[in-house]
Amino acid sequence: MKQIFKLSVGFLMIAMAFTSCNNSKSSKSNSALNSNAAEKVYVAPGEYDEFYAFISGGFSGQLSVYGLPSGRLFKVIPVFSQDPEKAYGYNEETKPMLNTSHGFIPWDDSHHPDISQTGGKLDGRYVYINANNTPRIAKIDLTTFETTEIIEIPNSAGNHSSSFVTENTEYVVAGTRFSVPIPQRDMPIKDYKGNFKGSLSFLKVNPENGEMSIKFQLLMPGFDYDLSHPGRGKSHGWFFFTTYNTEEANSLLEVNASQNDKDFIAAINWKKIEEYVNNGGGTKIPSEYAHNLYSDENHTATSTMMHEVLQVKPSDVPGAIFLLPTPKSPHGCDVDPTGEYIVGNGKLSANLTVHSFTKMLNAIENKKFAGEAYGIPILKFEDVLAGVVEQPGLGPLHTEFDGKGNAYTSFFISSEVVKWKLGTWEVLDRKPTFYSIGHLMIPGGNSANPFGKYLLAMNKITKDRYLPTGPEVTQSAQLFDISGDKMELLLDFPTIGEPHYAAGIPANLITANSKKLYKLEDNKHPYAAKSDADTKVTRNGNEVHIQMTMIRSHFSPDNIEGVKVGDKVYFHVTNLEQDYDVPHGIAMIGANTSELLIMPGQTETFVWEPKQVGVWPFYCTDFCSALHQEMQGYVRVSPSSSDIKLSWSLGDDF
């Protein structure tokens, strides 16, 4: 206890010292907001933003799409959480997307979006994003901006050092934050040390369609694996993971996992392990996990349970894994555009540590090891160190790059962004953030080719920055212009959930491929009604299937009789529109589910279990047309004993 007290007092004092010294600077730079900042973020009505920013919603479980520099919100893509607005996770088609080995899970914590790459450059095809709580990775298709795949990661817990892609999107990674018994078993928690393991999963990506499959899981020592980034250029073929809790504490980690002077960055030569695996290496271990795929052809998701994964122990592949000592619980693990520098953002360190890939290779070649951890060689700190940014701030979390030789690091405790120079390690500029910045983002910042025009700071706390909204206030992002020598704050804008992490991309890499509608003729949904002639109502026991169409401005059929109390009524509704931006919605009084919001050419299904006799209306929920208010219909519900036959009609053809 004494130790905790001492530590926290010491920490507070440091924090205060830094905050106060920053305040003198910050008040100046804050008021010196250039008068033309407004012009720089102004996107005139009808004009487009230059960049897309995909900002994860953190505990919202979703992925938001913003425009930069305007900071305007375009869409919230449902990923790991149900979304009644879009019926995601509510309609029959997308419920399987949220299936796991633990059953249906309506929520998760979405963290680190990363955009697919080809040749080290953003290609704008997919965004991959991880679920932290129940470990999963999702793929979002950037032609439709919809989640089209979710794969569960077995033998993992707190899928945090994820979901970063290699430079040709060969792999997406998933590293466990919480080490756990592998396989899971009933054992005392205090026996953690030496018994728990951390798994780093490498998911192979199919270059044709972006689909993921777990190629192998690396069973690492029981540390916490925090963040990761791929090598690129000269370091392509390697992946780097930061670790903390190398103490392997299982309780009061805030203290017990902060004792080691240095934790590690684990350098993984995945190409070497891939080769080992391709030659038949590794052990197949029974593991249950769900692989969920959504098809744009039948507008339906399927969930498949998988039963085993291939596991590899570090000792199986000597010379593929090394540990780089890195001060004080490093968080972000960031690789510069050339692939030479690996920045370890030691979040409890006063300095920022940068390792050299070239030096690392030399040290490995000369076998200059400081020791080993569970058989994994530990390199000597001095041998791999490229340089140190001295006293840049407090609590470094994440570094991104502008492609012009500069790096930008977020400092959580001192609440600022610091610009520094690669190679000379000198601090060039600093700007306060409001407040407590977590991650930051430069479009293309995790690639060989960053677009160093804007920097987005994502803050955890806003306090007094916006109009108050009761105890819970918005979190926010702040946009900086980084095109000049000094950073310039341009804009604050509120975000959904917790703006945890982001990936940005020039808009022109995406817009041309963005789908306008689904072709009706390609709709392969088993219950699609592609014209009025296809509409029908059928009964199978107490299941009633209504195959309905919607088009401006009516449902077909819109009068249905013969439904009985106790029936399970499936509304399979097809939007017959083939025009851009003409979705229709449908909602049924008393249905214990969400509305449907159906895009042109798409079919979706909701279930209604009528409990009361009567005549019950349904209506279109999306203001579709001048006759939207007329877009409605009735279902007659008769007693369960009734023998009224099913009938359906539209207009006069009763």
Separation of CA 550 from chain center: 34
Question: Which class for 559: exposed (0-12), middle (13-18), buried (19 or more C-beta within 10 A)?
Answer: middle
| Contact window for another protein (CB under 8 A) among 15-23, 84-92, 174-182, 577-585 | 577-585
Q: Is 254 exposed, middle or buried (0-12, 13-18, 19+ CB in 10 A)?
A: exposed
Could you give the CA distance from residue 109 to residue 78 in angstroms, rounded to a whole number? 12
Give the x-and-dash track for 580-599 against another protein (CB under 8 A). x-------------------
- Alpha carbon separation from 356 to 370, 381, 387 (Å, rounded): 17, 11, 8
- From 238-246, 379-387, 500-508, 574-582, span contacting another protein (CB under 8 A): 574-582
CA dihedral defined by 335, 337, 340, 345, rounded to 10 degrees? -30
CB of 578 to another protein, least distance (A): 4
- CB nearer to another protein: give 199 or 535: 535
3-class secondary-structure state, position 521: helix
Cβ distance 407 to 386 under 8 Å?
Answer: no
Residue corresponding to tokens 């060039």: 428
Instruction: Please pick, from the candidates 578, 593, 632, 649, the single residue that binds another protein as defined by CB under 8 A.
Output: 578
Q: Which residue lies nearer to another protein by CB, 13 or 627?
A: 627
| Residue 8 amino acid letter | S
Paired tokens of 589: 């009084």
The residue to which tokens 């230059």 are assigned: 50
Q: Which is nearer to another protein, 590 or 651 (CB)?
A: 651
Closest to another protein by CB, 351 or 578: 578
Question: Helix, strand or coil for residue 339?
Answer: coil
CB of 587 to another protein, least distance (A): 23
CB of 48 to another protein, least distance (A): 13
Residue 37: strand, helix, or coil:
helix
For another protein, which is the closer residue by CB, 252 or 627? 627
Among the residue ranges 445-453, 524-532, 572-580, 586-594, the one whose residues contact another protein (CB under 8 A): 572-580
**What minimum distance in Å lies between the beta carbon of 653 and another protein?**
14
CB of residue 517 vs another protein: minimum separation in angstroms? 8
Q: Examine residue 189 and tell whether it contacts another protein (CB under 8 A).
A: no
- Judged by beta carbon, residue 71 or residue 600, the one nearer another protein is 600
Shorter beta-carbon distance to another protein: residue 129 or 576: 576
| Closest distance of CB 109 from another protein, Å | 39
State whether the Cα torsion 142-146-148-150 is positive or negative.
Answer: positive
Q: How far is the CB of 579 from another protein (least distance, A)?
A: 5
Three-state SS letters, 489-508: EEEEEECCCCCCCEEEEEHH
Q: Considering only residues 612-651, where is the footprint of another protein by CB under 8 A?
A: 626-627
Query: Is the CB of residue 140 less than 8 Å from the CB of residue 84?
Result: no
Structure tokens at 25: 């600077």
Binding mask 113-142 for another protein (x = CB under 8 A): ------------------------------
Min dist CB 549 to another protein, Å, is 13
Applying CB under 8 A, among 17, 579, 644, 654 the residue interacting with another protein is: 579
The smaller minimum CB distance to another protein, of residues 41 and 576, is found at 576
Tell me the closest approach of the beta carbon of residue 581 to another protein, in angstroms. 9
Stretch that binds another protein, among 52-60, 217-225, 468-476, 576-584 (CB under 8 A): 576-584
The one-letter code for the residue type at 454 is: Y
Contact string (CB under 8 A) for another protein, positions 536-565, x = contact: ---------------xx-------------
**In terms of C-beta density within 10 A (0-12 exposed, 13-18 middle, 19 or more buried), how is residue 526 classed?**
exposed
Q: Number of residues interacting with another protein: please give it, by CB under 8 A.
A: 9
Q: For residues 268-327, which are near another protein according to CB under 8 A?
A: none
CB of 528 to another protein, least distance (A): 17
Nearest distance in Å: CB 596, another protein: 21
Q: Do residues 414 and 397 touch, judged by C-beta distance below 8 A? A: no
Region from 285-293, 560-568, 575-583, 612-620 binding another protein, contact rule CB under 8 A: 575-583
* Chain centroid, CA 212 distance in Å: 15
Nearest to 384 by CA among 365, 405, 403: 365
Q: Which is nearer to another protein, 553 or 642 (CB)?
A: 553
Distance of closest approach, residue 598 Cβ to another protein, in angstroms:
16
In contact, 244 and 226? CB cutoff 8 Å? yes
Binding range to another protein, per CB under 8 A, among 37-45, 189-197, 244-252, 578-586: 578-586
Choice between 43 and 517, CB closer to another protein: 517
Residue pair 347/242 in contact by the 8 Å Cβ criterion = no
Nearer to another protein, 297 or 579 (CB): 579
**Which of 397/551 has CB closer to another protein?**
551
Between residues 189 and 626, which has the closer beta carbon with respect to another protein?
626
* Tokens 């305040």 -> residue: 23
Q: What is the DSSP string of 1-28?
A: -HHHHHHHHHHHHHHHHHHHHHHHHHHH
Residues 6 or more apart in contact with residue 66 via CB below 8 angstroms: 52, 53, 55, 72, 73, 74, 477, 493, 495
Task: Assess contact for 606 and 87: CB atoms under 8 A.
Answer: yes
Q: Minimum distance between the CB of residue 647 and another protein, rounded to whole angstroms? A: 23
Minimum CB–partner distance for residue 86 and another protein (Å): 23
Smallest gap, in angstroms, from Cβ of residue 550 to another protein? 12
Q: Nearer Cβ to another protein, position 566 or 651?
A: 651
Give CA–CA dist 353/390, Å, rounded.
9
CB 439 within 8 A of CB 475: no
Cβ count near 42 (within 10 Å): 12
**Residues of the shown chain interacting with another protein in the complex, contacts defined by CB under 8 A:** 517, 551-552, 577-580, 626-627
